[in-house]
Amino acid sequence: MDVLLDNLSLFREGFFGTLKLTGASAIVAVVVGVIIAGFRVSPVPPLRIFGTLWVTLLRNTPLTLLFLVAFFIVPKVFFPDLDSFLLATLACGFYTSAFVAEAVRSGINTVPLGQAEAARAIGFTFTQTMRLIVLPQATRTVVPPLSSIFIALTKNTAIAGAFDNVELFNVSKTLSNDGYDIAMIFLWITLAYLIITYAINGLFRLMEHRLEVAR
């Protein structure tokens, strides 16, 4: 009990740190993931190639390696003054975007081809076809896999703790350095992660239910 009560504000900071990283990365991942999925089914070959490269590269690179690139190469070569939260968000967000893109693409593939053809025949542009006709119909198949992708993301943000971000995993390290009982620290940290992943789970259950009813 001591660990928690003695360090309540640190725990709180870690909890919200993880939450903020997860939330921000999830937004980046969804926005980028949907765009990349669009690239992969677009009629423009260079976009398709870019989309395929993006997914292949990011999905098959260890996240830790991405963090190393984000924190040691990006500041040196491109942008020197990005803060560690932003860099961590980009690393986690881009990494997760590859998984989101695959989920969205397989969702797109469940929508009959005739839907997109009818849309194009009416005069919709490619973006309109995606936005108005295909993606809304793909949502139902995309939402369930997104839930597990975001839970994985929550746990992946722990790596950011080793890179100058305060979040749950980082807090656990600080506390064990302070000499608290490791077992107790892990108990509370695990509980905090569970709260977040359960919340994500619940949120998606709700969304799935909504989508079922909307039919």
Rounded to whole angstroms, the Cα distance separating 40 from 48 reads 4
Residue closer to another protein (CB basis): 44 or 68 = 44
Check binding of 49 to another protein (CB under 8 A): no
Check binding of 56 to another protein (CB under 8 A): no
Check binding of 124 to another protein (CB under 8 A): yes
C-alpha 3: how far from its chain's center?
30
Check binding of 133 to another protein (CB under 8 A): yes
- Pair 55, 101: CB distance under 8 Å: yes
In DSSP notation, 172-203 reads: HHHHHHTT--HHHHHHHHHHHHHHHHHHHHHH
Smallest gap from Cβ 207 to another protein, in A, equals 16
Choose, by CB under 8 A, the member of 120, 141, 145, 163 that binds another protein.
120
Check binding of 128 to another protein (CB under 8 A): yes
Integer angstrom CA distances of residue 66 from 62, 90, 91, 100, 105: 7, 9, 6, 17, 23
Smallest gap from Cβ 146 to another protein, in A, equals 19
Check binding of 114 to another protein (CB under 8 A): yes
Rounded to whole angstroms, the Cα distance separating 49 from 151 reads 29
Residue closer to another protein (CB basis): 80 or 123 = 123
Choose, by CB under 8 A, the member of 84, 106, 137, 174 that binds another protein.
137
Q: Compute the chain's Rg from CA coordinates.
A: 20
Smallest gap from Cβ 211 to another protein, in A, equals 11
Positions that interact with another protein (CB under 8 A): 43-44, 112, 114-115, 117-126, 128, 132-133, 136-137
